[in-house]
Structure 1
Amino acid sequence: MSIDDVRDELAGDNARNKWIGVWIGVLAVLLAVCGVGGGNATKDANRANIDASNTWAFFQAKNIRRTSYILAADELELTLLAQPGLAPEAAQAIKAKISAWRATAERYRSEPDTREGLTELSAQAKELQSERDVALRKDPYFDFAGALIQIGIVLASVAIIAGTSTLLLASFAAGGLGTLLMLNGFWLFVAVPFLG
């Protein structure tokens, strides 16, 4: 084997190694994007969960107030029944209060203008829970995608040292599958059974 043959063989390996280096760079960029996607999915899930919890707490507080008005009106109605000899002015004042409390209790059921009625709050909380659930479905795809992309980087690095194409093909497979899982994490094209 002449020196020119050795130089040509090393030049071929050098070009191959450069392309593998480019592949590793692409995988590193994909890994960074995957990390951002996974972090955003986690943040979105936490935010939506907290917002849903706060909305349900507001719903419960509003429902307790509504129930208090109903109970107070019921108690005043019983007072009217128990004391039929009340002065007409007192009975009229009690009836006005009963009417006002019943109207307030009914208004609490639905307040479309402020979106703070029980009906609106329930719908908001359910929508936030749905957002949380979508974000939670996305997160595992990013986790597995990140792992596969990292494995692809390691396999490509070892392929440079070992000089074997088998490891490079395994790197392409791991990186490609990781990329598909990452894209699915962003858009949820398909539901993979064991991932969520």
Structure 2
Amino acid sequence: MTGHGHVDHSGENKRVALLIAVLALCLALAETGAKSAQTEALSRNVEASNLWAFFQARTIRQTTLRTAAEAAAIAPQPAEEDRRAAAARQVAAWQATAQRYESEPSTGEGRRELAERAKAAERTRDRSMAAYHMYEYGSAAFQVAIVIASASIVTGVPLLALGGAILGAVGIALAGLGFLAPELIHL
């Protein structure tokens, strides 16, 4: 106690200021994680869209080739043997190309491979969006914790600092989920 019945809170205020500094650091880390996750989600969304567009183009080409092969197969055959052989070779080439469009493991550009790649990009996008949300919830908890801890200095009510610390722990848990297991819970 100092003169005139005034209690010296400087030691307690230093601890609260340190708490606020730690909360601010956690907030900065959570915001960085959120921005990174958001950027990753946007990139994977574009990748998935591009892959599905390529998938659609392959489907259209495949359908066109199959239709041409089927039409040629039922068309009247020319009388000359060499023209009949040339038509048969063309039909076989169209059918082979249509089959290659269905699955082309060597390039990863068959419809099956494109669909798998697009689905993988969508899974990454969804995980990144979940992480983004967890980081954002953690950031909100840190921001409120900073306000509450700051209020404890102004009001001299130590319980507010404790509330800020508890809310900071919630923020750490949410940001940790964003990093380690973003799809574990859905808020």
TM-score by length of 2: 0.93
Which 5+ residue runs of structure 1 have no aligned equivalent? none
Task: Write out per-residue CA displacement over residues 101-154 of structure 1, whole angstroms, 9 at most, x where no aligned residue.
Answer: 111111111111111111111110110111011112222211211111111101
| Distance across 2 between alignment mates of 1:18 and 1:173 | 18
| Distance across 2 between alignment mates of 1:147 and 1:115 | 42
Secondary structure, in 3 states, of the residue corresponding to 1:73?
Answer: helix
| Distance across 2 between alignment mates of 1:64 and 1:162 | 70
The root-mean-square deviation of aligned C-alpha atoms, in Å, is 1.8
Q: Which amino acid aligns with 1:94?
A: A
Which 5+ residue runs of structure 2 have no aligned equivalent? none
Task: Write out per-residue CA displacement over residues 27-78 of structure 1, whole angstroms, 9 at most, x where no aligned residue.
Answer: 0010001101111111111111110010010011011111111111111112
Partner of 1:55: 51
| Distance across 2 between alignment mates of 1:96 and 1:2 | 103
Partner of 1:191: 184
Count of paired positions = 187
Q: 1:161 aligns with which of 154, 159, 163?
A: 154
Structure 1 residues 189 and 41: CA distance shift in structure 2, 3 A = closer
Partner of 1:136: 129
Q: Percent identity?
A: 34
Q: 2:64 aligns with which of 63, 68, 73?
A: 68
Q: Which runs of 4+ in 1 moved over 6 A?
A: none
Task: Write out per-residue CA displacement over residues 151-178 of structure 1, whole angstroms, 9 at most, x where no aligned residue.
Answer: 1101111101111111111111111111
Larger Rg, first or second structure (1 or 2) = 1
| Distance across 2 between alignment mates of 1:134 and 1:2 | 56
TM-score by length of 1: 0.89
